[in-house]
Amino acid sequence: MLWYTGKRLLQIIPVLLGATFLIYFMVFSMPGDPIAALFGDRPPAPGVIEQLREQYHLNEPFIVQYFYYLAGIFQGDFGVTYSGQPVNEVLARTFPVTIRLALLAIFFEMIAGISVGLISGLRKGGIFDATGLGVSLVLISLPIFVLGFVAQYFMGIQWGWFSPTVGAGAPTQDLILPALVLATISFAQISRLTRSSVIETQGLDFVRTAYSKGLSGKRIVPVHILRNSLIPVVTYLGTDFGTLLVGATVTEGIFNVPGVGRTLYQAVIRGEGPTVVSFVTIMVLLYLIVNLLIDLLYAVLDPRIRYA
Amino acid sequence: MSTPLLQVKDLEVAFRTQNGVVQAVRGVSFTLDRGSSLAIVGESGSGKSTTAHAIINLLPGTGHISGGQILLDGEDLAKASQNEMEHIRGRKIGFVPQDPMSNLNPVWSIGFQVEEAIRANGIATGRKEVKARAIQVLKEAGLQDADRRLKQYPHQFSGGMRQRVLIGMGLAANPQLLIADEPTSALDVTVQRVILDHLESLTRELGTTLLFITHDLGLAAERAEQLLVMYKGQVVEAGPSREILQNPQHPYTQRLVAAAPSLASRRIQATGSIAAAESAIAADAATAAGEAIDLIATAEARAEALEAAAAQPPAIVVENLTKVFKIRGSGDFKAVDDVSFQIRRGTTTALVGESGSGKSTVAKMLLKLEEATSGKIVVGGKDLASTSGKELFALRSRMQPVFQDPYGSLNPLRNIGNTIAEPLQTHKVGTKASRRERVFELLDQVSLPRTLLGRYPNELSGGQRQRIAIARALALKPEIVILDEAVSALDVLVQAQILRLLAELQAELNLTYLFITHDLAVVRVIADNVCVMQKGRIVEAATTDEVFGSPKEQYTRDLLAAIPGANIELGA
């Protein structure tokens, strides 16, 4: 197990290097001059431009810029944004917010998805199952920005259940509404996944054997059916957590969450190479670590899986 | 005598399907006295397992009891509520399921699963007592080191060990009735024997009444006092085991007795010829007498063929074949250890052994699906190790496999015609029209109607599928066919048909068979020579008659003794 974990951690290094290189290259190839964009209509003094180019190594060839950047990372320095803030600071400010948002969303979708899926699976073909399917289909087909605005309008403004936008410092109670919106999409997936998994497990021989031992349904459902059904769900949750860290851009925009998605989007628009690459690097790192944790969790859920 | 423990009266079980209601069990009645034993025998689909599941009210899917009574101690189980059934299961009726591989929850430890049964039935309370009882139960079921293994998971147990756990669980609450649904069908014969012996002594000690479900007539007769033969949901014959076996009344029972390879072995010895046995096994009991003359004729023909074969060079030569698997942490594992044998053209050699003896690995190396670690395989004069590319491709067309599982070895998305024609396409034989002709010819050869061409595997029975697999293997007119447990998954009657088909095809096309099986009874009726494998080595190699008549190795004798029903004298 230890050896396996070590091996997986070592594998992260080449993946990270490859990812940073690719992203850096793509940002570098984007058209337009980031310095010119900084100044808008009023042309700055030529000396200033030169100085900025010097400062950000913009007049060096691509590969040299990349190595400057890489050397910085290894010293814990992710560079400076074009507005002068250290990228480190931006990372430290935005990532905790997004991680909290993602965890909250995962929590909601897990509770709702697994319970709805379990009941639908146990009462396959019943009214609950049919309703669940209908609701899931509607939710899956709704684009997230529609869902976001509708939720914001009704729950935030009309009924006033939640704060419609996220305030300074992103307090957790403000994050509930965007987390619910994020959870809605995955809820549909998780409930369908749990349902089919429960149906499959229910028909397995050991469940019948459990009944033949004289156990009651109350014990068999959580102990023998649910636990065995959760393995595919855990896989999905793992990838979903990764997606939530990266892809909450739209939702963060709607609710004004000062998180990763919004900041990254702005950095991409402005062509800020170092900022974009730093964000993506941290995202890749988080994604890999989450997936490693999921793989290790497998071994806990299913004793047949042993890593050597 | 007091009232019988179990009385089943006119039991009817139905399943709701898309095409209406299907009756799986139709008017089954029997009584079971305290301390007695009854076996229900029949092929798959006969309703025997459904009857058992109806008794403990665990019918799968849409199955439900649609009529009749199940009286346990006078109480009608067909009318019992879910709650009442929970009390009866485990406490009054124990259940031992069929497949030890799938009947234990893989994510919980053995101890956990035994303990929950004990706790649910109120046998013991408190951590320590429950644990002590679990250890006791498992020890009784034959797991000597139960206290050490309680924390282990099912995948760390062998099939036999798991079945012991299941038996222990079934008996954990000292039920009056134990239903054993094919408890050993998934196990090797020798393990099967040990487990059944143990089950028998255990139930005798505890005074448990035993209801046995099996497809194996020999096993049923050996293990149960009373026999109930089921066919298509109905009881066709019932009575004392030996009586039914020696004097079957119903035509279906007669066919079953005639087809059971374990029972037929007696008759083969009487005629003393393999070919005769092949015919005898397939023949209906009613017509057996009429065919007796033909049997002698075919036996003579077979003897001549064998003599002719001796003059030719062998089709397969295997010399000092060894296969070592590297296992991280625990060193090397020798799956096949210095194995040598020869197979002459047009003859059948059987490779026999329990699971893990290395017989299938030999087959894989012969097919070059697995590389040999050392040793030599010569097929039709060519050394397999040095062939590759085009030569190997050509060689493969002369050597075809048929695998065990007729459900898994056919692609469900290809229709029968395409399945059979696939090897022809791969090896670019003939034109589209001529390939189609060949497919028809093959369907004729395996006695399947030509109309099957456009059907898909899921529309066929197990026996039909295995015929398709054989037809596919024969498509390229190979000289050698490697049959890896090719009849093990089939019911006895179908098994007999396929064995006869194989024998006919061999005579017609001068095929060479390597027949891999764990079932010695089948070997008796198909093989000319037998190699018995144990732990990767060939421990005994001789002609079939020698092996069965005078086995030299203890291991072979154990295997022979383990054939269920081998010692029962048939009246016929």
Q: Do B105 and A205 touch (CB under 8 A)?
A: no
Q: Which domain holds residue B113?
A: 32-64+75-247
Q: Does B169 share its domain with B44?
A: yes
pLDDT of residue B18: 77
**Residues with Cβ < 8 Å from B503, sequence gap 6 or more?**
B275, B278, B526
Please tell me which residue, B223 or A28, carries the higher pLDDT value.
B223
Q: How close does chain B come to A295, measured CA to CA in Å?
A: 16
Structural domains in chain A, sorted by start: 2-74 (no CATH), 94-301 (1.10.3720.10)
pLDDT at B306 over 70: no
Number of domains in chain B: 2
Angle formed by the axes of helices B261-271 and B251-259, nearest 10°: 70
Residue B268 within any structural domain of the chain:
no
Of the ranges B113-117, B148-152, B482-486, the best mean pLDDT one = B113-117
Residue contacts between A and B (CB atoms, under 8 Å): 86
CA–CA dist A104, A175 (Å, integer) = 8
Q: Look at residue A251 and tell me whether its pLDDT is greater than 90.
A: no
What residue has token string 């099957």?
B452
Q: How far apart are CA B482 and CA A202, in angstroms?
A: 38
Instruction: Reply yes or no on whether the pLDDT at B162 is more than 60.
Output: yes
Last-in-domain residue among B230, B247, B264: B247
Three-class SS state of B408: coil
Token digits for B13? Answer: 């079980």
What are the chain A neighbours of B87 within 8 Å (beta carbons)?
214
Q: How far is Cα A106 from Cα A180, in angstroms, rounded to an integer? A: 9
Other C-beta atoms lying within 10 Å of the C-beta of residue B495:
25
B463 is a domain residue: no
A225-238 residue pLDDT tens: 998 898 889 888 88
Split at pLDDT 50, 70, 90, the class of B228 is very high
The 10s digit of each residue's pLDDT in B381-412 is: 888 878 778 888 888 888 899 987 777 888 88
Please state, in angstroms and as integers, the Cα–Cα distance from residue B332 to each residue in A210, B325, B363, B518, following that order: 38, 6, 20, 25
A294 pLDDT tier (thresholds 50, 70, 90):
confident
Task: Give the pLDDT score at A206.
Answer: 92
Asked if residue B503 belongs to a domain, the reply is yes
* pLDDT over 80 at B8, yes or no: yes
How far apart CA B187 and CA B99 sit, in angstroms, is 9
Spatial distance between the Cα atoms of A227 and A229, rounded to a whole number of angstroms: 5
CA distance B154 to chain A (A): 9
Q: What is the mean pLDDT of chain B?
A: 82
Q: Measured between CA atoms, how close is A207 to chain B, in angstroms?
A: 8
Residues B402 and B548 in one domain: yes
Nearest to A302 among B91, B104, B107 (CB): B107
Asked if residue B135 and residue B41 are part of one domain, the reply reads: yes
Answer whether residue A281 shows pLDDT above 90: no
Contact B227, B38 (CB under 8 A): yes
- How high is the pLDDT of residue A242? 78
Could you tell me if residue B478 is left (phi over 0), alpha (psi between -120 and 50 degrees) or otherwise beta?
beta
ipTM above 0.90, yes or no: no
Residue B187, min C-alpha distance to chain A (Å): 17
| pLDDT of B47 over the 80 cut | yes
Residue B282's pLDDT band (boundaries 50, 70, 90)? Answer: very low
Q: Which has the closest alpha carbon to B211: B34, B405, B365?
A: B34
List residues of chain A with CB under 8 Å from any CB of chain B: 203-206, 208-217, 219, 223-224, 227-228, 301-304, 308
- Contact by Cβ (8 Å): B492, B328: no
**pLDDT bracket for residue B264 (50, 70, 90):** very low
User: Looking at residue B289, what is its pLDDT?
Assistant: 40
pLDDT one-digit tens code per residue, B528-560: 889 999 888 888 888 888 888 888 888 888 888
Residue B570 lies in a domain: no
Closest CB from A209, A216, A302 relative to B103: A209
Smallest Cβ–Cβ distance between A304 and the set B116, B120, B155 belongs to B155
Which range has the top average pLDDT, A41-50, A120-129, B307-316? Answer: A120-129
Q: Which among A234, A132, A109 has a CA at the least distance from the CA of A184?
A: A109
Contact B97 A204 (CB under 8 A): no
Query: What's the pLDDT score for residue B307?
Result: 65
A209:B86 CB<8 A:
no
- Are B238 and B314 within one domain? no
Closest CA to B545 of B564, B566, B524: B524
CB contact under 8 A, B106 and A203: no
Calculate the CA A115 to chain-centre distance.
22
Which amino acid is present at B100?
P
B247, B278, B293: which is the final residue of a domain? B247
> Which pLDDT belongs to residue B24?
87
Indicate whether B344 belongs to any domain: yes
What is the enclosing helix (H) or strand (E) of B61? none
For residue B202, which of B221, B224, B174 has the smallest C-alpha distance? B174
Tell me if B536 is assigned to some domain: yes
In percent, the amount of chain A with pLDDT more than 70 equals 94
Q: Which residues contact A230 (CB under 8 A, 6 or more apart)?
A: A114, A194, A197, A301
Summarize pLDDT for B131-157 with one digit per residue, the tens. 999 999 898 888 888 888 888 888 888
- DSSP annotation of A306: -
Q: Given the structure tokens 């222990």, which residue do they identify?
A: B168
Residues B92 and B229 in one domain: yes
**Nearest chain A residue to B121, by CA:** A214
Work out the pLDDT band at B481, boundaries 50, 70, 90: very high
Whether pLDDT at B245 is above 60:
yes
Q: Indicate whether B227 belongs to any domain.
A: yes
Give contacts of A209 with chain B, Cβ < 8 Å.
95, 97, 103-104, 166, 169
B63 touching chain A per CB within 8 A: no
Report which DSSP code applies to A226. Answer: I
Say if B94 falls within a structural domain: yes
Contact at 8 Å (CB) between B56 and B179?
Answer: yes
Res B267: pLDDT: 30
Integer Cα distance of B279 and B288 in angstroms: 9
* Distance of alpha carbon B171 from alpha carbon B193, whole angstroms: 19
- Same domain? For B240 and B342 the reply is no
Q: Are residues B235 and B319 both part of a single domain?
A: no
Pair B357, B531: CB distance under 8 Å: no
- Per-position DSSP letters for B136-192, written without gaps between them: HHHHHTT-TTHHHHTT--GGGS-HHHHHHHHHHHHHTT--SEEEEESTTTTS-HHHH
List of chain B residues whose C-beta atoms are within 8 Å of the C-beta of residue A225:
none
Q: Kindly state the average pLDDT of the residues B79-87.
A: 88
Closest of B336, B444, B314 to residue B380, by C-alpha: B314
CA atoms within 13 A on the CB side of B254: 11
What is Dmax (Cα atoms) for chain B?
A: 77
Q: Could you tell me how many residues make up chain A?
A: 308
Q: Which chain A positions have a beta carbon within 8 Å of B104's beta carbon?
A: 206, 209
Q: Does B87 touch chain A (CB under 8 A)?
A: yes
H-only helix segments in B224-323: 241-246, 251-259, 261-271, 274-282, 285-311
Considering only CB atoms, which chain A residues are within 8 Å of B89?
Answer: 211-214
Q: Which of A299, A232, A304 is nearest to A2 (CA)?
A: A299
Nearest chain B CA: its distance from A150 CA (Å): 43
Report yes or no: B375 and B554 within 8 Å, Cβ to Cβ: no
Residue B358 shares a structural domain with residue B232: no
Say what the pLDDT of residue B284 is: 41
Mean pLDDT of B323-348: 82
Whether A304 sits inside 8 A of B106 (CB atoms) is: yes
Give the bridge partners for B325, in sequence order. B333
| Cβ atoms of residues B63 and B142 within 8 Å | no
Looking at the predicted structure, is the pLDDT value of residue A119 above 90?
yes
Q: If you average pLDDT over residues B323-352, what whole number do you get?
A: 83
Please name the helix (run of DSSP H) or strand (run of DSSP E) that holds residue A176, with its range, or none.
helix A172-202
Q: What's the distance, CA B288 to chain centroid?
A: 26
pLDDT reported for residue B563: 77
The predicted model gives A208-212 an average pLDDT of 91
Q: With contact defined as beta carbons under 8 Å apart, do B239 and B226 qualify?
A: yes
Round to whole Å and give the CA distance between B544 and B529. 5
The dihedral over CA atoms of B200, B204, B208, B209, expressed in degrees to the nearest 10, equals: 70
Q: Nearest residue of B to residue A227 by CA position?
A: B107
pLDDT at B572: 42
Q: Which of B247, B277, B302 is the last residue of a domain?
A: B247
Closest CA to B212 of B459, B433, B41: B41
* Rounded (5°) CA angle B345-B350-B351: 125
Identify the band that residue A109 occupies on the pLDDT scale cut at 50, 70 and 90: very high
Asked whether the beta carbons of B559 and B533 are under 8 A apart, the reply is no
Q: Which residue has the higher pLDDT, B159 or B228?
A: B228
- In this prediction, what percent of chain A has a pLDDT beyond 90? 15
The mean of the pLDDT values for chain A is 83
**Candidates B58, B121, B172; nearest CB to A208:** B58
Lowest model confidence (mean pLDDT) among A283-292, B98-107, B291-300, B468-477:
B291-300
Closest CB to B107 among A215, A216, A228: A228
For residue B239, what are the β-bridge partners? B227
Backbone φ, ψ for residue B378 (5° rounding): -115, 120
Same domain, residue pair B134 and B234: yes
pLDDT value of position B190: 76
Give the torsion sign (CA, B296, B300, B302, B306): positive
| CATH number of domain containing B119 | 3.40.50.300
Query: Looking up tokens 């030719």, which residue turns up?
Result: B312
Q: What is the phi-psi region of residue B430: left when phi exceeds 0, alpha when psi lies from -120 to 50, beta otherwise? A: left
Place of tokens 């993946």: A15
Percent helix, strand, coil in chain A, to 5, is 80, 0, 20
